[in-house]
């Protein structure tokens, strides 16, 4: 089943609870939380306090995408805040295996994300530990960027690896997944679609619902 992980980065931050409920009504089944630190990526968003604030407002899983240096230092904080899935960038983890173990020890599902320049091969040894692999289809840091087609081959490659290794991790794609690119992404084999600007129309819940429904018509 292909799921919509809606990115609250594109929502109205002053009304996060309502925005999440609206996207859920449109068919979204995962809340994608983009955590940025101004170091690993040139932008700053939010952290564990915001995760904690939205936790009681929805039953949907909170999929936290950490675009931060030194994610190990924050694993316990995200677990305490109520994150369900913690996704760390391969590029910042010197001991990725240990980081993933720690995420699991803290009761969350571990996931790894790779930038456009990072090959899928970097993850081979840890694939059996993962809830999902997140393929970035833009360079991380901002919503509303243009989809990079190089992600398509990476998705297809991961599908093959999953088959060959007899594993069942999911494949998530993030960045520029919009009405004009979603079909190719699904065709390549993605099963979790992150979308922010293609879904949220702040101040216009009917439009947000329509966007999500349209997006899921595959």
Binding site for ligand DX5 (CB under 6 A): 7, 9-10, 32, 34, 65, 138, 140-145, 174-177, 194-198
Does residue 34 have an active-site annotation?
A: yes
Paired sense of beta strands 170-174 and 62-67, if any: unpaired
**Distant-in-sequence, close-in-space partners of 145: CB < 8 Å, separation ≥ 6:** 138, 139, 175, 176
Which residues, 170 to 189, sit near Zn ion by CB under 5 A?
174
Interaction partner, residue 144 (ligand DX5, Zn ion, none; CB < 5-8 Å by kind):
ligand DX5
Interaction partner, residue 112 (Zn ion, ligand DX5, none; CB < 5-8 Å by kind):
none
Set 34, 37, 63, 84: catalytic member: 34
User: Toward ligand DX5, which CB reaches closer, 7 or 102?
Assistant: 7
Closest CA to 214 of 191, 196, 198: 198
Which residues, 21 to 80, sit near Zn ion by CB under 5 A?
34, 65
**Cβ of 163: how many Cβ atoms within 10 Å?**
10
Structure-token pair, residue 170: 């999911």
**Strand partners of residue 4:** 193
Provide the minimum distance between the beta carbon of 65 and Zn ion in the complex, in angstroms, as a whole number.
Answer: 4
Q: Residue 171: is it exposed, middle or buried by C-beta count within 10 angstroms (0-12/13-18/19+)?
A: buried
H helices present in 34-95, as ranges: 48-54, 75-81
Provide the minimum distance between the beta carbon of 17 and ligand DX5 in the complex, in angstroms, as a whole number.
Answer: 19
Q: Which positions make up the binding site?
A: 7, 32, 34, 65, 141-144, 174-176, 196-197
Catalytic residue numbers read 34, 174
Residues that bind Zn ion (CB under 5 A): 34, 65, 174
């Amino acid at each position: 089943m292909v799921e919509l992980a809606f990115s609250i980065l594109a929502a109205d931050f002053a009304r996060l609870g309502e925005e999440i409920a609206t996207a859920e009504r449109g068919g979204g089944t995962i809340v994608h939380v983009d955590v940025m630190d101004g170091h690993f990526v040139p932008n700053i968003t939010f952290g564990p306090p915001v995760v904690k604030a939205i936790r009681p407002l929805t039953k949907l899983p909170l999929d936290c995408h950490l675009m931060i240096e030194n994610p190990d230092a924050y694993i316990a904080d995200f677990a305490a805040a109520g994150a369900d899935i913690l996704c760390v960038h391969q590029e910042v983890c010197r001991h990725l295996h240990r980081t993933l173990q720690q995420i699991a020890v803290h009761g969350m599902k571990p996931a790894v994300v790779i930038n456009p320049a990072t090959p899928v091969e970097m993850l081979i040894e840890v694939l059996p530990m993962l809830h999902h692999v997140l393929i970035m289809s833009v360079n991380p840091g901002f919503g509303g960027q243009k989809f990079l087609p190089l992600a398509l081959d990476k998705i297809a490659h991961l599908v093959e690896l999953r088959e060959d290794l007899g594993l069942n991790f999911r494949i998530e794609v993030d960045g520029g997944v919009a009405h004009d690119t979603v079909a190719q992404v699904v065709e390549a084999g993605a099963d979790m679609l992150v979308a922010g600007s293609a879904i949220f129309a702040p101040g216009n819940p009917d439009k947000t619902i329509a966007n999500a429904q349209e997006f899921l018509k595959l």
